[in-house]
Amino acid sequence: MVAMMTFTLGYAKTENHSAVQNVEKYDMSFDVRRLAAKLELTSDQMEAFQIIQDSFNNEMLSVATAKGHMRRFLVHQAVRKDVNQMKLILNDNQFNTYVQLLGVTLRNKGL
């Protein structure tokens, strides 16, 4: 009985740890002020940027619960939406820098 409970609790802990790691992988929150300084955003751009970033992060966190091909599709969809929205508020230089940083971030997270 004790061995069975130990196994069950160990399995639950491992499963929960795996779920937490999965959510962390899809967490796209970061220091927006630092990125804003890097991109040299105006105050109007900063406000819109924060809204778009919050939306993107929420979408990516919801992707963590998806399975298989659906997860890949949802990541692609969230990134495409984010990039399209950022294109509307950033100038060409800012946008190019943002896309490069986003690409590096996604690669580093294995997405």
pLDDT attached to residue 110: 86
Which amino acid would we find at residue 56? F
Which pLDDT does position 22 carry in this prediction?
67
Cα first-last separation, the chain? 42
**pLDDT tens-digit series, residues 64-94:** 888 889 999 999 999 999 999 999 999 999 9
DSSP state of 41: -
Using only C-alpha atoms, what is the Rg of the chain?
A: 18
SS3 31: coil
- Average pLDDT value for residue range 37-66: 92
pLDDT higher than 80, residue 20 = no
Q: Which has more confidence, 54 or 16?
A: 54
Domain range summary for the chain, segments of one domain joined by +: 2-108
Name residues whose C-beta falls within 8 Å of residue 98's C-beta, 6 or more positions apart in sequence: 35, 39, 86, 90
Q: In this model, does residue 19 exceed pLDDT 60?
A: no
For the record, the structure tokens of 51 come out as 């809204």
